[in-house]
Amino acid sequence: MNDNTGMSPLESAFHASAERHERFWIFGVLVMLVLLTIGTMFYVVHDYGLVTSTHSYATDPQAPPREAAFQDGKVVRTGPNAYAVYMVGRAWHWSPDVIHVPEGAEITFYVTSADVLHGFEIQGTPVNLTAVPGVVGTVKYTFHHTGLFRIICNEYCGMFHHAMVARIIVDPAGTP
Amino acid sequence: MSIEIAADTIPSAFPQTESERVAASTRRLMLAFLITGFCALLVGATIGPLQALNYGGVDAYPALRPLLQSYYQGLTIHGVMNGYVFTFFVTCGLLVYLPARELGVTPNLTMWRACFAIMAVGALCVLYAMGDNSSSVLWTFYPPLKGSPFFYIGITLLALGSTMPLSILLQMRATWRRHRPGEITPLVTYMSLTTMLMWGLAGVGVVAELVLQLDPWSLGLISTVDPIINRTLFWLTGHPIVYFWLMPAYVSWYGLLSRQVGGKLVSDPMARITFALLMIFSLPVGTHHQFSDPGFSSIWRGILVVLTMSVATPSLVTAFTIGLSLEYAGRLRGGQGWFGWFRALPWSDPSVAGQILAAITFILGGATGIVNGSWQLNAIVHNTTFIPGHFHVTVGSVTAMTFMAITFWMVPHLTGRQLISRRLALFSVWVWFVGMTIFAIGMTWAGLYGVPRRAWVSALPHGTYHALYGAASVPLALVAIGGVLLWVASYSFFAVFFGTLLFGRRAAPPPIPFAQSFGGPASSTIDSPPNPARSASPLIRALDHIWLLTGVTALATIAAYIPILWPFLHHVTRAPGWILW
C-alpha cells in the first residue's frame, strides 16, 4: 500500500493491525450511535406528550398574560380526564403559585413569560419548558403519583431567580 | 513575504539578523496571547469555587461585598473570563504560532497584533461592564435581560477579533503552497485551518445577534428585541464554540502529544477526517440547546438528534487514534501486556500527564454530552446542574488542562526559562483532574434531582434549601469538595506559570514537539525536502479542498436554520429590556 512507504517493519506491522482494529472500532461506534438515536426517537414517539411545542405568538409580550385564561390562573377542565393549566412567569414568581391537579389526568400546561426568559421545570418529572416572552409554549404531562411537586425556575431571570418556586399538589383521582 | 527558517536559538536580547528579530517578535506575541489568556483564567478560576461552594450550601458572597455584589455577578465573570477570554486568547495564539512554525513561514504580524489588540479592548470593556455589576447577564446574555453597552460591544470585539487568525492562516498556507506546489497541507496547519474556518462560519450567529440587535438596543437606538430569535442566533454560535474550545486541544493531542510521549501519530488521515467531520457536524446542530423551547417543529428536533449523535463520531475516532498512538509509544518504551504500555508512558512529564488526564475526563464529558443530545433524556437534565457538570469535563478539563499542559513546554520554549518546579506542575494537573472529576460527578448527579443550574441556592433560607434540594445533599457536597480542590490545583498551576516566567533558570529552549506520523515526513517546513503528494490517499487529497468543505458546511447550516427561523421571523416579538439584578 502507498501509505506504507517510509515505514520501519515495526511501524508497518503496527499500522496493519491498527487499520483492522480501526475499521472494527468505527463500525462499533456507528452501530452504537444508530442504536442510541433509534432509542431516543422511540421514546419520543412512544411518549409523545413531552414534546414542547408552540401554542401561539404575540408581538407584545404583555398580550398573552392579559388573556382571560392566564389572568384567572384557574385549572380548566377540558375533557373527561383532561385539564389545562395556564402559567405566567414573572420575576420572581409563578402565577398561579399553588395548583391542584388530579392524579392520572392529562394536564396541558400553557406557559408564557411577562418579562424575561424563565424555565418551567417540574422537579422530579421530565417537564421542562422555556417560558419565552411573546410565545405561549405548551407541554402535556400526566401525574401518576399524588403529593407535592415543585415548579422551579431553571432559566436565569435576575437577582431572586433561585427563589422563584411554585407548587403543584397532585390530589388522589376522584377528588373534585 | 519573508521566510523564517525555523531555528530554536536561545532568545537573545539583541537579535542579530532580520530573521532572528522577526522570530523574536513572533515568540513575544505568542507569549502575550498566552499570558493574557491565563490572566483571564486566574480571575475566572478564582471565582469558580465560590459557585461550587454555593451548591454545597455555603454562601461566601456576603463576605465579598463590595467587590462582588452577588452570586450572579460572580458567575457572569467566571463564565465570560474562562469561556471567552481565556480560550480565545490562548487559541488565537496557538493556532497561528504552531502552524507558522510547522510551515516555517512568518505569520502576518500586523494582523496578529491587531487580533490581540481588538480582543484586548473587548476584554477590558467586558471586564468594566461586569465589574460594576451593570451586566450580570451570565455568559449567555439572553435578552431581554439588558446589560450595559460596554458588555455587548466588548463581546462583539472579542468575537470579531477571534476570527482574525483565519486570514493569517490562509496567507501562510498560500505562501507555503507557492513554494511547494501539489503538496498536501501539513497536519497541524490543516487542523488549525479547519478549526478557524469552522469558527469563522459559526461566528456569524452571535455577531448578527450583537450587531443587529443587542449593540443598538443597549445604546438606545432600538427599543425592543426578539428574545427567541436572539436565543437561536446565540446557539448558532454557542454550540460550535464547544468545538472552538475542543479542537485546539485536539491539535495538541494529534499534532504534538505522540512526540511528547516518544512515539508517532499512528494515523494522519484519521486526524484530518476528524477535523473535517467536526467542522461539518458542529454547525447545523446548535438548536439542540433549545429542545425545551417552544418554536420549531418536532421533525426538526428529530433531525437534530441524528446530527448531534453524528458529532460523537469524530470524538470517538479521536479516542481510538490517540489511544493507539499512546500504545505505540508505550510499547516502544518497553510496556508489556494489556495495560503495561499505559504505565510505561512518561508520566513524570507534567505536559504529558496533563494531556492524558484531560483525555480521560473526556470519557465522562462525551458520555454526558450524548445524554444532553438525546431529546428525551435532555428533558430531564435541561438547565439542571447536569449541564455545567457536563461542560466542566469538556472545556473545564479537556481544554483547560491541555492548555495548562501546553504551557509546561511552551513557556520554556518561548522564554528560555526552565519550569521552576516539575513536581508542582505535576501536582497541579493531578489535583485538577481529581477535583474536576469529583465536581462533575457531583453536578451531573445533583442534576438528576432537579437542582437548577445558575441558581444562588445557598442564599435561600436554610429550611427551603433543604426542602428543595436536601435529597441531593451528597452530590452537592461533592460539588463543593471538587471546587475547593480546583482552587488548590489552579493556584499550584499559577505558581508554576508565573514563577517560571519571572524566576525560571535560563536554559536552552526546547523545540516544539511536532509529532511525525507513520510514513509522514520528519519536517514540513517550507525549505524541507519535497514530500510528494502521491503517497496521500484520494480521500486526503479531497479533504485538502478546504473551500469545498466550508461550502458544504455553510449549505448544511443554512438548510438547518431556515426552517427553524422561518416561524420566528413571521411572528416577531417586540420585548423591552429588563435590568433585574
Shared domain for A77 and A37, answered yes or no, is no
Q: A5 to chain B: which residues are within 8 Å by CB?
A: 519, 535
Amino acid at B172: M
**What is the structure's pLDDT at B16?**
74
How does A96-114 read in b/e, with b if 16+ C-beta sit within 10 Å?
Answer: beebebbbebbbbbbbbbb
User: How far, in whole angstroms, is CA A93 from its chain's centroid?
Assistant: 20
CB B142 to CB A117 under 8 A? yes
Shared domain for A112 and A154, answered yes or no, is yes
Task: Return the residue in A94, A116, A139, A151 with the most chain B beta carbons within 10 A, the one to mutate for interface testing.
Answer: A116
Count of domains for chain A: 2
Residues 344-373 of B with CB under 8 A from A: 370
CB B251 within 8 A of CB B195: yes
Q: Which residue of B has its CA nearest to A35?
A: B309
Name the minimum distance, in Å, from the CA of B486 to any CA of chain A: 25
Shared domain for A117 and A92, answered yes or no, is yes
Name the minimum distance, in Å, from the CA of B481 to any CA of chain A: 22
In a domain, A149, yes or no: yes
In a domain, A83, yes or no: yes
Domains of chain B: 18-519+536-570 (1.20.210.10)
Distance (Å, rounded) from C-alpha A49 to C-alpha A52? 8
Shared domain for A148 and A131, answered yes or no, is yes
Residues of chain B with pLDDT under 70: 1-15, 532-535
Interface membership of A6 toward B (CB under 8 Å)? yes
Helix/strand/coil for A96: coil
Shared domain for A90 and A166, answered yes or no, is yes
**What is the structure's pLDDT at B168?**
97
Task: Return the residue in B293, B316, B327, B375 with the most chain A beta carbons within 10 A, the one to mutate for interface testing.
Answer: B293
CB B571 to CB A57 under 8 A? yes
**What is the structure's pLDDT at B5?**
42
Q: B326 to chain A: which residues are within 8 Å by CB?
A: none
- Count of Cβ atoms closer than 10 Å to residue A56 Cβ: 16
Residues 530-549 of B with CB under 8 A from A: 534-535, 537
Considering only CA atoms, which of B47, B134, B142, B137 is closest in space to residue B86? B47
In a domain, A36, yes or no: yes
User: What residues are paired with A76 via a beta bridge?
Assistant: A84
Range(s) of the domain holding residue A113: 50-171
In a domain, A32, yes or no: yes
CB B244 within 8 A of CB B282: no
Distance (Å, rounded) from C-alpha A91 to C-alpha B478? 31
CB B506 within 8 A of CB B462: no
Distance (Å, rounded) from C-alpha B50 to C-alpha B484? 9
A18: nearest CB among B267, B384, B567: B267
Interface membership of A43 toward B (CB under 8 Å)? yes
Shared domain for A102 and A30, answered yes or no, is no
**What is the structure's pLDDT at B148?**
96
Which residues of B are designated catalytic?
Answer: 239, 243, 390-392, 453-454
The domain boundary, picked from A30, A46, A62, lies at A46
Shared domain for A34 and A74, answered yes or no, is no
Name the minimum distance, in Å, from the CA of A44 to any CA of chain B: 6
Q: Which residue of B has its CA nearest to A63?
A: B573
Distance (Å, rounded) from C-alpha B516 to C-alpha B520? 6
Interface membership of A104 toward B (CB under 8 Å)? no
H or E element in which residue B126 lies: helix B109-131
Task: Return the residue in A10, A154, A165 with the most chain B beta carbons within 10 A, the one to mutate for interface testing.
Answer: A154
In a domain, A82, yes or no: yes
Distance (Å, rounded) from C-alpha B107 to C-alpha B138? 35
What totals of helices (H) and strands (E) does chain B contain, helices first?
23, 0
By DSSP bridging, strand A165-171 and strand A98-102 are parallel
Interface membership of B459 toward A (CB under 8 Å)? yes
Considering only CA atoms, which of B142, B114, B134, B109 is closest in space to residue B4? B109
**What is the structure's pLDDT at A5?**
55
Q: A130 to chain B: which residues are within 8 Å by CB?
A: 290, 292-294
Interface membership of B313 toward A (CB under 8 Å)? yes
Residues 6+ apart with CB under 8 A from B94: B30, B33, B192, B248, B251, B252, B406
In a domain, A110, yes or no: yes
- Assign residue A158 the CATH number of its domain: 2.60.40.420
Q: In this structure, what C-alpha cell is assigned to residue B108?
A: 502576518
B309: nearest CB among A36, A57, A136: A36
H or E element in which residue B429 lies: helix B422-447
Distance (Å, rounded) from C-alpha B21 to C-alpha B551? 39
Interface membership of A18 toward B (CB under 8 Å)? yes
Q: Which residue of A has its CA nearest to B293?
A: A130
Name the minimum distance, in Å, from the CA of A113 to any CA of chain B: 11
Distance (Å, rounded) from C-alpha B576 to C-alpha B581? 16
In a domain, A176, yes or no: no
Q: Check pLDDT > 50 for residue A4.
A: no
pLDDT digit string, tens, across residues B77-131: 999 999 999 999 999 999 999 999 999 999 999 999 999 999 999 999 999 999 9
Shared domain for A42 and A66, answered yes or no, is no
User: What is this structure's pTM?
Assistant: 0.94
Q: Which residue of A has its CA nearest to B449?
A: A124
Q: In this structure, what C-alpha cell is assigned to residue B46?
A: 478564582
The full DSSP string for B180-217 is STTPPPPHHHHHHHHHHHHHHHHHHHHHHIIIIIIHHH
A135: nearest CB among B294, B317, B374: B294
CB B354 within 8 A of CB B416: no
The full DSSP string for B306-333 is HHHHHHHHHHHHHHHHHHHHHHHHHHHT
Shared domain for A94 and A35, answered yes or no, is no
Shared domain for A30 and A116, answered yes or no, is no
Q: In this structure, what C-alpha cell is assigned to residue B149?
A: 453597552
Q: Check pLDDT > 80 for residue A127.
A: yes
In a domain, A100, yes or no: yes
Residues 6+ apart with CB under 8 A from B83: B139, B241, B245, B395
Shared domain for A85 and A139, answered yes or no, is yes
Shared domain for A99 and A164, answered yes or no, is yes
Residues 120-139 of B with CB under 8 A from A: 138
**What is the structure's pLDDT at B410?**
97
